[in-house]
Structure 1
Amino acid sequence: MTVQLIRAADLYDGVEYAYAAVAPPAALIFTAGACPLDESGATIGAGDVRAQARACVANLTAALAAAGADLGDVLKTTVYVASARRTDLAAAWAEIRTAFGEHDVPSTLLGVAVLGYADQLVELEAVALRRNSAAR
């Protein structure tokens, strides 16, 4: 079995990891944590949990698209929020939950001490299933 590492051309290329990985024939996609980074690697929405959650969803969507999937193919998410305040966790969750609409996948929401990039408050990771494993 060969693992295909996915590098999403639309996302910041200065990270030291692939944005997703697919292992055929199962066609499971494991994403790296989607961070609120713009194309130059700058953190989007410093101090704004909601803006960062929306940016994470946008970047997750781009990584999934590069792997041949979309939000409707997600099997599970993990949401990390760098805060001890439940209101911050709830705010991040509200944005992410809204983005998924009727597709209410299992998810884990965690408050953590710190995340990897300067001013980063939110990170969103997912496991998805590529519907057509021959697509890529």
Structure 2
Amino acid sequence: MALELINPDDLPVPEMYTQVVVATGSRLVFISGQQPEDIHGKLVGHGDFAAQARLAFANLGRALRAAGARPGHVCKITIYIVDYNRDEHIPIIEQAQISLFGNHKPANVVVGVAIMSPGYLIEVDAIAVIDEVVTR
């Protein structure tokens, strides 16, 4: 599997993502939106955006592992945030993203939404490309 990360010369170089990701591989993995829930489906961190962001990204990592994928296989993420405020939310998202991806910077988009389920402040989904054959 190879991800070619491209930041074209005529576009700004983003700090936390890559402008263009070209993926080649034999398996596509689509991860549903991961929310800040514990193993029992209970919301964790009610009212605490940072706690919810950390758990949503940690749950994304768990979902990737279940598919035999690693964070480095992710080519695209979408982050949904209730009442999005760039100055307030981006630094927190960056820390949560780094905790999962390290220096890997998949393409991403942040989408502000009016409301999710009551108390939920963030959700993150992903697309990954892998070559490995997984046996379970």
Give TM-score, length-normalised by structure 1. 0.74
**SS of corresponding position for 1:33:** strand
**SS of corresponding position for 1:96:** helix
Structure with higher Rg: it is 2
Identical positions, percent = 35
Matches within 5 A, 1:1-136: 26-99=26-99, 100-115=101-116, 117-132=117-132, 134-136=133-135
Give TM-score, length-normalised by structure 2. 0.74
Please list every run of 5 or more consecutive structure 2 residues that lacks an aligned counterpart in the other structure: 1-24
Please list every run of 5 or more consecutive structure 1 residues that lacks an aligned counterpart in the other structure: 1-24
Deviation at 1:84, TM superposition (A): 3.5
8 A Cα contact 2:26 2:131, kept in partner? no
Cα-Cα RMSD: 1.7
**SS of corresponding position for 2:33:** coil
Greater relative CO (CA pairs within 8 A, separation 6+): 2
8 A Cα contact 1:82 1:111, kept in partner? yes
Q: Distance in 1 between matches of 2:92 and 2:65?
A: 22
Stretches of 4+ moved more than 3 A in 1? Answer: none
Structure having the higher strand fraction is 2
